[in-house]
A = this chain, B = another copy of it.
Amino acid sequence: MDTKTQNRLDAKARIIKAMAHPTRLFIVETLAKHEHCVCELTAMIGADVSTVSKHLSILRGAGIIDDEKRGSLVYYQLKMPCVLGFFSCVDTVIKANAQGQLKCIR
In the bound complex, do residue B22 and residue A12 qualify as a contact, i.e. CB atoms below 8 Å apart? yes
- Residues 1 to 51 of chain A near chain B (Cβ within 8 Å): 1, 5-6, 9-13, 15-17, 19-23, 25-26, 44-46
Query: Counting CB contacts under 8 A, is A58 at the interface?
Result: no
Q: Of B6, B86, B91, which one neighbours A86 at CB under 8 angstroms? A: B86
Chain A interface size band reads 35 or more
A30 CB to nearest chain B CB (Å): 10
Given contacts A64-B93, A85-B89, contact A25 B1 (CB under 8 A): no
A residues bordering B, Cβ < 8 Å? 1, 5-6, 9-13, 15-17, 19-23, 25-26, 44-46, 62-64, 79-80, 82-83, 85-87, 89-94, 96-97, 100
